[in-house]
Amino acid sequence: MARPGAACPPPARRGMVAARALLFWALVYSYCGSGAVPGRARWGALGRGRRPGSTRLPGGGAVPGRPPCRALGGGLGGRERRPGLRFHYVAAGERGKPLMLLLHGFPEFWYSWRHQLREFKSEYRVVALDLRGYGETDAPSHKENYKLDCLITDIKDILESLGYNKCVLIGHDWGGMIAWLVAICYPEMVTKLIVVNFPHPSVFTEYILRHPSQLIKSGYYFFFQMPWFPEFMFTVNDFKVLKNLFTSQATGIGRKGCRLTAEDIEAYLYFFSQPGALTGPINHYRNIFSCLPLQHHEVIMPTLLLWGERDAFMEVEMAETTRIYVKNHFRLTILSEASHWLQQDQPDIVNKLIWTFLKEETTRKRE
Predicted confidence at residue 339, as pLDDT, reads: 96
Mean pLDDT (the chain, rounded): 83
In a domain, 79, yes or no: no
Express each pLDDT in 136-173 by its tens digit. Answer: 999 999 999 999 999 999 999 999 999 999 999 999 99
| Domain membership flag for residue 21 | no
Instruction: Give the pLDDT confidence score for residue 48 in this predicted structure.
Output: 36
Task: Provide the domain count of the chain.
Answer: 1
Q: Could you tell me which residues are beta bridge partners of residue 82?
A: 85
* pTM (2 d.p.): 0.83
CB 267 within 8 A of CB 61: no
Q: Does 122 reside within a domain?
A: yes
The upper half-sphere exposure of residue 110, i.e. CA atoms within 13 Å in the direction of its Cβ, equals 29
- Residue 213 in domain: yes
pLDDT digits (tens, 9 = 90+) for 108-140: 999 999 999 999 999 999 999 999 999 999 999
| CA distance linking residue 77 with residue 102, whole number of Å | 14
Task: Tell me the pLDDT tens digit for each residue of 182-239.
Answer: 999 999 999 999 999 999 999 999 999 899 999 999 999 999 999 999 999 999 999 9
| Of residues 254 and 9, more confidently modeled | 254
Residue 20 located in a structural domain: no
Residue 113 covered by a domain? yes
* Domain membership flag for residue 35: no
Q: What is the pLDDT of residue 202?
A: 93
Q: How confident is the model at residue 254 (pLDDT cuts 50, 70, 90)?
A: confident
Q: Which are the catalytic amino acids?
A: 173, 285, 340
CATH of the domain at 215: 3.40.50.1820
| Higher pLDDT among residues 310 and 40, named by residue | 310
pLDDT(307) > 90: yes
| 26, containing H or E segment | helix 11-44
Alpha-carbon distance of 326 to 103, in angstroms, equals 20
Higher per-residue confidence, 103 vs 366? 103
Residue ranges making up the domain that contains 126: 84-359
**Domain contains 141:** yes
